[in-house]
Amino acid sequence: MLESMYVKNFAIIDNIQIEFKDKMTVLTGETGAGKSLIIDAIGLLFGDRASSDLVRKGENKATVEGIFTNTTETDAFLKDNEIDLDDFLIIKREIYENGKSVCKINNEAVSLNLLNELGLMLGSIHTQFDNEKLTNPKNYFDFVDTDIVKERLVTYSNLLKEYNKKNKEYQTLLKNELENNQKLDFLKYQFDELKKANLSAKEEEDLKEQLNLLNNYEKISSNVGEFVETFDNNNILDNIYSSINYLEKAGEYNNRIKEYKELLEDSYYDILDTYESVKQTISKLDFNQNEFDEINDRLGVYSNLKRKYKLNTVELVDYYNNLEKQINSIENFDYIKEELEKEVTKLKKDVLDVALEISQERISQAKFIEKEIKTNLDDLQLASTLLEIKVVSNKDNFKKNGIDDIEINITFNKGEDLKPLYKVASGGELSRFMLALKAISSNKFKNKTLIFDEIDSGVSGLVAYSIAKKIKEIGEYAQVLCVTHLAQVASSATTQLNITKQVENGRTITKIKELSIDERISEISKMASFGEETEASINFAKELLKQK
């Protein structure tokens, strides 16, 4: 339930604080005074998108802050999203003139999507334009789908995704059957060719290294020989060894020189090892023409196959491995087809079973809603209404929300045939039909805020009384805020907030005030008599308020 709301620099609203009460509250006032702005502000608290156009002229930021009663549902939501709990649920929106918008829950910044999720738990806003939902049969699922259906739809959706994936695989298999049979010989040829080649990326690198060695044999041999000759002719090792002896003798008298001697000695043995290794290398160096030719031939195999298949060696090895799988798949086609067909058949049955469960639940709920709507429409001066809500199933057509279509066929006039709701209902009839739907589900809105923005537009007389009574009934279950221009609806409310606009310091601002009983008589009197208080309209207002 919305306890209070603070609004600052929001369009023509300068700075107002509104305290809200439970049951039914009406917002009244002249057209353009700002009633819809109050609803828009609440919409922002529910997660509606903000526009910089809403920032009051001359200001850089608009602020809307609402305090809501905590519920078990909202507490669980905040806990799941690691938002601190408080004595109340506080939602704040800040809209900047540069287009930036900030959402906060209990003083923690959150995304608009997260706020929107929370908003669905706080309440809903219904305007006369929402009646357009009734003109599109795709929206009828919202009316008949219970929590049970929504749970089963999750299972259905997962199964359907799995079925579609497997069925696509199966259909592709069937489509490629003829083509694969024709391709088998070619695949086997490629497989045999690559198998015979026995390619390996490591072998290719080793061969290139060996070829590089053979190609540069003379340079390597010459330089290594010069290295050995330099060492031998200059007695480099003997000289280093002799120099170590000198340092050893001097080190007897100086620890630092002793350390240098040890370092040089270590280096001497490293150089000696390197020298011996190089000598062994040159002794093994030998140019073999046959080996040279064999390596070139083998690398030619790699080069030719890479050019032929337009793949590098690693890709050729992968392609070879994949060829084996393709050949195996074609040669075992019948078995694979049979197994895949079994999987598809089972998955289809699983999807259909869940879809049929959903259909049965919808049929049951449709019958209940049909009866309840009829009762509520009787209360709303549509007693001649005949109504049929049908769940039409097609077991061969899996859609994202099941196998069903929902049809609402109706006639508001005795003796006329049933026709689709969206074809026969007038605006006033659609409003009452939607109100009947809200009345059915009003017990689900306990501790929530239901807002009706001029849904009584275009009605009068006895129908207006009926709508007022029905909205008041809903207010016994939920907090109801209702924008109205009808005296009958205004008089039925527990609380009446009147919105006016006035000019202060050359600027138009919106004011809001909770009316006393005498002020309500005056305001309702004006509503009933084109803005003028008369003795008759005052008496009419008093009579209306007595009946509430």
**How many structural domains are present in the chain?**
2
Distance of CA 369 to the CA centre of its chain: 31
Question: Residue 42, exposed/middle/buried by CB under 10 A (0-12, 13-18, 19+)?
Answer: buried
pLDDT digits (tens, 9 = 90+) for 231-250: 888 888 888 888 888 888 88
**Do 197 and 147 fall within a single domain?**
no
* 15 and 116 together in one domain: yes
pLDDT at res. 77: 93
Amino acid of residue 409: N
Residue 239 belongs to a domain = yes
Question: Are 203 and 136 in the same domain?
Answer: no
For the segment 312-355, what is each residue's pLDDT rounded down to a tens digit? 999 999 999 989 888 887 877 778 888 899 999 999 999 999 99
Task: Please count the other Cβ atoms lying within 10 Å of the Cβ belonging to residue 441.
Answer: 15
Give a yes or no: residue 531 inside a domain. Answer: no
Looking at the structure, do residues 146 and 199 belong to the same domain, yes or no?
Answer: no
- What pLDDT sits at residue 420? 87
Four-residue CA torsion sign, 20, 25, 28, 34: positive
One domain, residues 372 and 504: yes
Q: Is 527 a member of any domain? A: no
DSSP secondary structure of 383-441: TT-EEEEEEEE-TT--BTTBSEEEEEEEESSTTPPPEEHHHH--HHHHHHHHHHHHHHT
- The pLDDT score that the predictor gives to residue 393 is 94
Same domain for 304 and 234, yes or no, is yes
Among residues 453, 454, 438, 449, the alpha carbon closest in space to that of 479 is found at: 449
Q: How confident is the model at residue 38 (pLDDT cuts 50, 70, 90)?
A: very high
What crossing angle do the helices spanning 255-284 and 236-251 adopt, rounded to 10°? 160
Phi/psi of residue 399, nearest 5 degrees: -110, 175
* CA separation for the pair 489, 483 (Å, rounded): 9
Question: What digits encode the pLDDT tens for the residues 104-142?
Answer: 999 999 999 999 999 988 988 887 666 777 778 888 888
Examine residue 548 and state whether it is found in any structural domain, yes or no. no
The model's pLDDT over 343-400, given as tens digits with 9 standing for 90+, comes to 999 999 999 999 999 999 999 999 999 998 888 888 888 888 888 999 999 999 999 9
Please check whether residues 364 and 510 belong to one and the same domain: yes
- Residue 94 shares a structural domain with residue 142: yes
Residue 159, token pair as written in the block:
């199964």
Q: Spell out the residues 6+ positions from residue 522 whose beta carbon is closer than 8 angstroms to its own.
A: 533, 538, 541
Residue 53 has pLDDT above 70, yes or no: yes
Question: Is residue 536 domain-resident?
Answer: no
Average pLDDT over residues 175-202: 83
Quote the domain boundaries for residue 264.
Answer: 178-331
Q: Please check whether residues 137 and 186 belong to one and the same domain.
A: no
Is 165 within the bounds of a domain? no
Contact of 61 with 94, CB cutoff 8 Å: yes
Residues 114 and 186 in one domain: no
Predicted pLDDT of residue 245: 86
One domain, residues 109 and 197:
no
Mean pLDDT, the chain, as a whole number?
87
Average of pLDDT values for 151-174?
92
Model pLDDT for residues 208-236, shown as the tens digit of each residue: 888 887 777 777 777 888 888 888 888 88
Phi first, then psi: what are they for 50, rounded to 5°?
A: -100, 155
Q: What is the pLDDT of residue 537?
A: 87
Q: For residue 433, is pLDDT > 90?
A: no
pLDDT at 45: 95
- The domain that holds 66 is classified in CATH as 3.40.50.300
Arithmetic mean of pLDDT, 267-275: 88
84-108 pLDDT, tens digit each = 998 999 999 999 998 899 999 999 9
Residue 535 belongs to a domain: no
Q: Are strands 123-127 and 404-411 parallel, antiparallel or unpaired?
A: unpaired
pTM of the model: 0.62
Q: What is the mean pLDDT of residues 55-79?
A: 92
SS3 of residue 381 by DSSP: coil
pLDDT for res 186: 85
